Amino acid sequence: MVLHGSCLCGHVKYELSSAPLLLENCHCSMCRKAHGSAYTTFAKVTKADFHFTSGNEFLGRFNSSPEVQRSFCKNCGGKFTFEWDQAPEHLWLAAGTLDEDPGITPKFHIFVDSKADWFEINDDLPQYKGYPPPDA
């Protein structure tokens, strides 16, 4: 399975050579600010299977905290990845940038203690105050 993705303007493109390990909905304040929405759906992927294929000159990076680096398109602002120092073999890919169906749906909600007050979670997915437990 090869999945493709891109930003809004199409300058930055990527390929993912394996299926995502899972999808998760993050409600932390940093993701809400970065993506301008109530939450962000991320695909957890194996870092070695992810590659930007074009538009490297448009790719920007930002350290949103000492352990986290995010990538984005400098032209349109489209968000791509969340890389966490504590999980160097994985990265989290903004699922909305995928051009094809990953074949899975979100597994849980994380950082629900900092969710937007104006948003109500109306599904039966598990909810975690912070990061999910390792076996989630």
* In contact, 42 and 80? CB cutoff 8 Å: no
1-31 core/surface letters (b: 16 or more CB in 10 A; e: else): eebebbbeeebbbbebeebbebbbbbbbebb
Integer Cα distance of 5 and 123 in angstroms? 27
Integer Cα distance of 76 and 12 in angstroms? 10
* In contact, 53 and 36? CB cutoff 8 Å: no
pTM: 0.94
Domains plus CATH for the chain? 3-114 (2.170.150.70)
Q: What is the pLDDT along the chain (136 residues), one digit of tens a residue?
A: 899 999 999 999 999 999 999 999 999 999 999 999 999 999 999 999 999 999 999 999 999 999 999 999 999 999 999 999 999 999 999 999 999 999 999 999 999 999 999 999 999 999 999 999 988 8
> Of 89, 96, 111, 123, which Cα lies nearest the Cα of 21?
89
